[in-house]
Amino acid sequence: MRLTDIKDAAGKNAFAAKGYEGFSYDREVVRERTKAAPEWIHFGAGNIFRAFPAAVLQTLLEEGRTEKGLIVCEGFDYEIIEKAYRPYDDFSLLVVLKADGTIEKKVVGSVVESLTADDQNAADQARLSEIFSAPSLKMASFTITEKGYAITKADGSYTPLVQEDMQDKALCPKHIMGKVAKFLYVRYQNGAAPIAMVSMDNCSHNGDKLKAAVTAYAKEWAKNGIVEAGFAEYVNDGARVSFPWSMIDKITPRPDALVQEMLAKDGFEDTDLIVTSKNTYTAPFVNAEETQYLVIEDDFPNGKLPLDAGGVYFTDRETVDKVEKMKVCTCLNPLHTALAIYGCLLSCTTIHDEMEDTELKTLVTRMGYEEGMPVVVNPGILKPEDFIGAVLTKRLPNVFMPDTPQRIATDTSQKLPIRFGETIKAYLAKGEDVKKLTFIPLVLAGYLRYLLGVDDAGNPFTPSADPMLAELTGQLGGIRFGAAVSAGALDCILSRVDLFAVDLVSCGLSEKITGYFNELNAGVGAVRATLKKYVDA
């Protein structure tokens, strides 16, 4: 079976016989309608797009709630389109990996056109201009990672590439944000129809990041006389161009060998792993967990697609923010980081294996329920109890999710302020004594122990990449494995508000964290013994 076989009756029957879900809508009619009057274009052709937004639209097409398909545009790694989309007529296979060990397989046909933002591809450039000129276009959405919105250096000045874009009178930008701004300018020139620009990337206040980049281009182009001043006014007018916030949550790992093997046994032939020259890992199929959440601020000046019929939540900005805080401060991200830190110390290789470890499972369960939930931000549209319950019983233990603690431990210094500092601040705001906390301080002590780069067996390991790694390990330079530190020895780090979002010394947690650190660093087996001591208490 090949993906393109789904286009004829015999192929559909072959897929159905093997338990693959197909679709009943006439895809060619959908393609024609979409080409004539597009409604949705998405930037970022990666796995989460195919596993989530594209699958949601497939549901809407099947139920007759929409008659238009999706157009995808890749703005960074053009080989994804050339190798993983066009050879398969833009079909993909979604493999949903359930925590109970079962899988669902679905051929997704909602993507009916694939393009690149390559300025050397005249045909794609012309088509993108045509799409953005269409009054019917309601939404441009994005999954381009947080880095895709970055146009400035650490000091706030524009990067050299962006500076070149902003001075280019030929209006041929190289940065993806410049490309997006250019196509909005095309829309402005062709009637200035309204549109929603919807970031679906996994970063806080993502709509603001997108808006800041696009409006910066418009401002500089207008200032440099490259575009009319009215264009800058257009993109800053929320009644015509909106930048809603959103919260997305779904794990879509790179194509997994176990999934490849299962599909091959079915007789499915399109299982080749594709690695592009930019080191993107993709395939004609995408594997993903079953749990998913997408919450979007209801701000669509040109009308919205009925995504809520496919499980997407439309709500106000304040609620989106609350959902984000529930996820990153309490119910998911802190648990992930705790498993990452202690997984590295205990030489674990997968997150799901950690959830079979009694001490580690108890650590994240008690931390979540006993220390996170009392100060959780309840968004109203999702119950925190249900969310954290799914995390602990379905998501983290899922044997099909081959995520590693080493990958999750990447950039931990950047995650600590939100994932733990905000919870400590919430306790302080309530006037409660944070010294009564056990598990959050234990995780923070574990992080300092992790920075020594020695596992619980006394063997050296390399901590994951982190922008503050050299600086922090330097501050711990005089501390050795197996040696206790004196009171106050860690205060140079524990007092850093930039690292923890709160001064852990002044709030009274230094003594507890230092004590935990000494227990964790007492020698071989001390990490395991310390965990057992406190999680079983």
Three-state SS annotation for 378-404? CCCCCCHHHHHHHHHHHHCCCCCCCCC
Give the three-class secondary structure for 258: helix
The beta strand positions in 56-120, using DSSP E, are 70-74, 92-97, 103-108, 111-116
**Chain centroid to CA 313: how far?**
17
**Chain centroid to CA 193: how far?**
30
Distance CA 302, CA 196 (A): 7
- What is the percent of the chain with per-residue pLDDT over 90, rounded to a whole number? 92
- Take residue 185 and report the two structure tokens written for it: 């300018």
Angle (deg, nearest 10), helices 333-345 and 439-450: 50
Each residue's pLDDT expressed in tens, for the chain with a length of 537 residues: 999 999 999 999 999 999 999 999 999 999 999 999 999 999 999 999 999 999 999 999 999 999 999 999 999 999 999 999 999 999 999 999 888 878 899 999 999 999 999 999 999 999 999 999 999 999 999 999 988 999 998 899 999 999 999 999 999 999 999 999 999 999 999 999 999 999 999 888 999 999 999 999 999 999 999 999 999 999 999 999 999 999 999 988 888 888 899 999 999 999 999 999 998 989 999 999 999 999 999 999 999 999 999 999 999 999 999 999 999 999 999 999 999 999 999 999 999 999 999 999 999 999 999 999 999 999 999 999 999 999 999 999 988 777 899 989 999 999 999 999 999 999 999 999 999 999 999 999 999 999 999 999 999 999 999 999 999 999 998 899 999 999 999 999 999 999 999 999 999 999 999 999 999 999 999 999 999 999 998
pLDDT in tens, 218-275: 999 999 999 999 999 999 999 999 999 999 999 888 888 888 999 999 999 999 999 9
Distance CA 133, CA 308 (A): 26
Cβ neighbours around 261 below 10 Å, total = 10
Query: What is the identity of the amino acid at 262?
Result: M
pTM, two decimals, is 0.89
- Take residue 430 and report the two structure tokens written for it: 């309530």
- Take residue 367 and report the two structure tokens written for it: 């931390």
Cβ neighbours around 304 below 10 Å, total = 20
**Chain centroid to CA 401: how far?**
15
In DSSP terms, which residues pair with 141 in a beta bridge? 42, 198
Long-range contact set of residues 216-223: C-beta below 8 Å, sequence gap at least 24? 216/151, 216/158, 217/151, 217/165, 217/166, 217/173, 217/177, 217/178, 217/181, 218/181, 218/184, 218/185, 220/166, 221/166, 221/171, 221/181, 221/185
